[in-house]
Structure 1
Amino acid sequence: MSGASRRGLIRAAGASLAGLTLAACDRLNASPGFSRVLAGAEDLTRRAQRMVTDRKALAREFSPADISPDFKANGTLRPSSAAYAAQAAAGFADWRIVVDGLVERPLSLSLAELRAMPARTQITRHDCVEGWSSIGKWTGARLGPLVDRAGLKPEARYLVFHCADHLGPNQDATDRYYESIDLIDAYHPQTILAYEMNDAVLPVPHGAPVRLRVERQLGYKHAKYVQRIEAVADFAHIGGGKGGFWEDRGYEWYAGI
């Protein structure tokens, strides 16, 4: 199956999933048998793709002429908290990103310090689970060297990205957006913490001051408004225990394309 066909199937499946009501998802998730079937199928899909795909194979990159004139901003367009509003008003001068959890040397870096880290620029396509795609140019710190600077402990297996925005109605910790990836994707050369988009400072609707770009995954994995990166052995104790805001609500954790 070609890459384009595979992406089409994934997006179609994701669009069908997005059409389910939360009540239906809750009923299905309440069934232990159904949950085990889903988990087994997802693990098989991940293993199969990793077997046939070079772990360092690059997502397709495009030319400047291919950049979408109107790259859709999705999800949260501006976090509602007073703390975020104050940071944005100050140009994120006081913003810091924390790297902690199962690391030897916890980090707290300013935006200037993050910009001084090894960086990468890439023009890639963002594929949304809703079925649309856009092409944008991203510049940001490579995640691999940042993780190495913190020094992962041997038991670390995943990175969890804690974000400033809330997507649910409660506007509390249960609604805070978060995502996670494994170390294979963390060390992929195209996985970056983007602080520029299309040769300009990353706009607020697209995740300012920093968003994750993990180019071989669907759009909901590309966490915006990242504040903290936590190295963990598993994510069962975080949120709903499924590895991400949308995963806790029925989406697959592995969204590789």
Structure 2
Amino acid sequence: MTDLKRRRFLISSALGVSALALSGCDRLEQSPEVGGVIRSAEKLTMSAQRLLLGRDALAREFAETDISPAFRVNGTSAPDGEAYAQLVEGNFANWRLKIDGLVDRPLELSLADLKKLPARTQITRHDCVEGWSAIAKWTGVPLGSLLAATGLKPSARFAVFHCADELEKTLDGSGRYYESIDLIDAFHPQTILAYRMNDQELSVGHGAPLRLRVERQLGYKQTKYIMHIEIVDSFAALWGGSGGFWEDRGYEWYAGI
């Protein structure tokens, strides 16, 4: 099976499982037995993909001529709230990215600080769980280089991305959007914090001022409006405890393609 065919097969499989989660997540949540089977299958999928493709295997990169003429705004089109509106009005001059948690040297960086760091540009395909795809060019800072600078503690396992947007106020009453990946994906060479898209500054609709690109996973993992990265050893203290806003509502945590 070619890399492209394998990728399409994995996407189709992921879409099928996600559709099941969307249509019956409430019932599944009420069944510990079924939930346990799904979580076991998810771990098997992650292990199999990493075994077959390798931890550092790259997602396909495309040419400039392959860039899609249109790229949908996935998820939130603009966060609510006065705080974010003020950041937009000030062209994000007062925005700061905080990186803390299980680190020896917490960081606080402005957008200008990030743009001074070595950057990576990649042209990749975004595959949405809703069934659409688009190719775009992304430029940003490799996440691994930032995390390496913080001095990760031995117990560190996951990077959690806390975002500016709030959706439905459920679970703990917050609804604050968040997402997470493990440190293997965080240090993958194509995992970047993107601030440019198609040679333009990232728009509000596409996640300004900063969004995650973790290219070997589905679109809902490409979290937007990042404000804070927290390094943790588990998800136990985070809202629903499943590692992400949509994961707390039935999606798979590992969305590999």
TM-score calculated relative to the size of structure 2: 0.94
Cα drift, residue 4 of structure 1: 3.2
Change (3 A) 1:169 1:241: closer
Cα drift, residue 250 of structure 1: 1.1
Distance 2:202 2:137 in 1: 11
Distance 2:211 2:155 in 1: 26
Contact preservation (8 Å) 2:158, 2:183: yes
Alignment of 1:19-98 (within 5 A): 19=19, 24-98=24-98
- Counterpart residue identity of residue 221, structure 2: K
- Counterpart residue identity of residue 165, structure 1: D
Percent identity for Structure 1 against Structure 2: 60
- Counterpart residue identity of residue 187, structure 2: Y
Question: The residue matched to 1:204 in structure 2 has which SS?
Answer: coil
Distance 2:166 2:34 in 1: 28
1:110 counterpart residue number: 110
1:162 counterpart residue number: 162
2:231 counterpart residue number: 231
Question: The residue matched to 2:205 in structure 1 has which SS?
Answer: helix
Is the deviation greater in 2-11 or in 92-101? 2-11
Q: CA RMSD in A?
A: 1.9
Question: The residue matched to 1:184 in structure 2 has which SS?
Answer: helix
TM-score calculated relative to the size of structure 1: 0.94
Question: 5+ unaligned residues in a row in structure 2: which ranges?
Answer: none
Contact preservation (8 Å) 2:143, 2:193: yes
1:63-85: CA deviation from partner (whole Å, max 9, x where unpaired)? 11111111111110000111000
Change (3 A) 1:219 1:20: same
Distance 1:171 1:88 in 2: 29
- Counterpart residue identity of residue 113, structure 2: E
Contact preservation (8 Å) 1:161, 1:179: yes
Is the deviation greater in 13-22 or in 42-51? 13-22
2:145 counterpart residue number: 145
Distance 2:219 2:199 in 1: 21
Distance 1:171 1:95 in 2: 28
Distance 2:43 2:21 in 1: 24
Contact preservation (8 Å) 1:11, 1:130: no
1:91-115: CA deviation from partner (whole Å, max 9, x where unpaired)? 0000000000000001111001111
Distance 1:170 1:27 in 2: 17
Is the deviation greater in 12-21 or in 82-91? 12-21
Distance 2:23 2:70 in 1: 34
Change (3 A) 1:43 1:166: same
- Counterpart residue identity of residue 256, structure 1: G
Is the deviation greater in 46-55 or in 190-199? 46-55
Distance 1:66 1:50 in 2: 27
Question: The residue matched to 1:206 in structure 2 has which SS?
Answer: coil
Cα drift, residue 19 of structure 1: 4.4
Question: The residue matched to 2:229 in structure 1 has which SS?
Answer: strand
1:186-242: CA deviation from partner (whole Å, max 9, x where unpaired)? 111111000000001001000000000011111110000000000000112212111
